[in-house]
Structure 1
Amino acid sequence: MADPPKTDLLQLIKRIGAYLSTKISKIFHTQDFRSVWAIAGFAVAVIFTWRSLRTPNGPRRRQPKSQPHSPITSGFSSYSNENLLPSEDSRAQNATDELSQPANPTLGQIVRKRLSDGRKVTCRLLGVILEENTPEELQNQATVKSSVLDVLLEITKHSDLYLMERVLDDESEEKVLTALENAGIFTSGGLVKDKVLFCSTENGRMSFVRQLEPDWHIDSNPEITSLLARFIRHQLHISTKTQQFPSNVHRASSLEQFFTG
């Protein structure tokens, strides 16, 4: 059913249209063009009124406002994700690593931590690996300390280990190699006979160390330890005596004490 006000308005528009038709016909006969423009304007107004009446008056749904995206804010978020999240992740990873650490770490974990993941280690034999302390004693016998075997095995797992010593004759060399072999050092670890070096002077032994450029050097001679302090990043001096060394020299009464004490 048509809306009564709208029907009345339509009737009015039809009457106006008939009136305009009569007037336009008269105007063209009298050539009054000013009246033509007036009537044309009035006609346009009537057309717009008619179009507005045809537009549905039903309620429109309100569209939600979209949030504008600011390029500056977006860029800042991206920067924050790239710069802050890695540090957060690393802190979380460190916390996880600490929690995953066993209450009693294994010897292998202790050795690796103590050596700071050093990839190459040089070590003298007398007084450190062997019970004997002088080259003269090696002419009679060579005895491997049983207490160092486990530590040596772990060092060879994580690092490239070289053993070296000054000897007085070839027989001393053979005694040392036989003692190491009988102790199982060549079969249970990564050490081979070619990495056991011999020389006839202390300067020759020091030259071995400098040529190999290890991350760690282990010695029991205080003079050699002091001279190498300028060239080797880390050293371990084995002695029961209290001596003064540069800050990059660690001290222990024995090799196993440094890693387990």
Structure 2
Amino acid sequence: MADHSKTDLLQLIKRIGAFLSTKILKIFDTQDFRYVWAIAGFAVAVIFTWRAIRTTPSGSQRRQPKRQPPSSSTSGFSNNPNDDHLLPSEDLRTESVIDGSFQPGNVKLTLGQIVRQRLSDGRKVTCRLLGVILEENTPEELQAANKATVKSSVLEVLSEITKHSDLYLMERVLDDESENKVLTALEDAGIFTSGGLVKDKVLFCSTENGRMSFVRQLEPDWHIDSNPEITSQLARFIRHQLHISAKKQQFASNVHSSSSLEQFFAV
């Protein structure tokens, strides 16, 4: 661009020289000195034009200021200068896996937030009673007991589950008396009044196959059980399962294990 401008200017000067030569000859022939002032003014204009061209920087584009990358000492922001959006460390912490607390800052989630994230916002949950919610572990133990006993440690977790999911409880019982013991224990524990659980969502059957049939018909997002055989058989049909047991056992990849319900949702 600069070389082309200089070439044009040289051609212009040559034309001006030829013009001046003609006019000077005419001045001497006619002795009309008005042409002298015209030529002088024209020469001044050419000089100023030449100086303006020389002081103009080469190229027509403006130089773009260099983009300064963020300082590496600023915590919580990306060090890549090409990032369009820089995420603060608080946003990065919320995407971390729940482990009870976050570092740095020791930011803790509430139990309700942990329940929602652990269940992946599952809208329907089925759960057996014996060994998970009740202290009794077998139908025979429930039948022999004077009354059923609800684990106090699971009450808060159950309350949070019913706030975010449609919860169904189920169990195999040996007689009607055992069924009444369970309903009375749940009612005394305040489970029917503190959350969204109602008595119609507590289901009873006389066989383990009947309980497994309940689960398949309800098609929950999560099923919680303590019977390893049922957990294994339902793994093909239920998206997520939680197996409650003190013993470590191998299940399908969609089955989680924990020693207790409250431990799985531990804050």
The answer to whether structure 1 residue 256 and structure 2 residue 257 are counterparts is: no
2:61 aligned to which of 54, 57, 67: 67
2:120 aligned to which of 112, 116, 119: 116
Aligned to 1:130: 134
Aligned to 1:95: 92
1:106 aligned to which of 96, 99, 110: 110
Distance 1:14 1:156, change over 3 A: farther
- SS of 1:260's equivalent? coil
Kindly provide the amino acid, as one letter, of the partner of residue 30 in structure 2.
Answer: R
The answer to whether structure 1 residue 210 and structure 2 residue 204 are counterparts is: no
Aligned to 1:25: none
Q: CA deviation at 1:52?
A: 6.7
Provide Cα deviations, 1:88-117, integer angstroms capped at 9, x if missing partner. 546867435367874444333333333333
Aligned to 2:161: 155
How do 1:112-261 and structure 2 match up within 5 A? 112-139=116-143, 140-260=146-266
Gapped regions of structure 2 (runs ≥ 5) = 1-19, 63-81, 95-101
Gapped regions of structure 1 (runs ≥ 5) = 18-46, 69-83
Q: CA deviation at 1:224?
A: 0.6
Query: 1:100 & 1:161 partners in 2: Cα distance?
Result: 35
Query: 2:243 & 2:218 partners in 1: Cα distance?
Result: 18
Q: CA deviation at 1:256?
A: 1.7
Query: 1:127 & 1:96 partners in 2: Cα distance?
Result: 35
Kindly provide the amino acid, as one letter, of the partner of residue 181 in structure 1.
Answer: E
TM-score, normalised via structure 2 length: 0.63
User: Which structure has the highest helix share of the two?
Assistant: 1
Query: 2:247 & 2:169 partners in 1: Cα distance?
Result: 23
Q: CA deviation at 1:124?
A: 0.3
- SS of 2:92's equivalent? helix
- SS of 2:115's equivalent? helix
Aligned to 1:28: none
Distance 1:171 1:50, change over 3 A: farther
Query: 2:119 & 2:264 partners in 1: Cα distance?
Result: 10
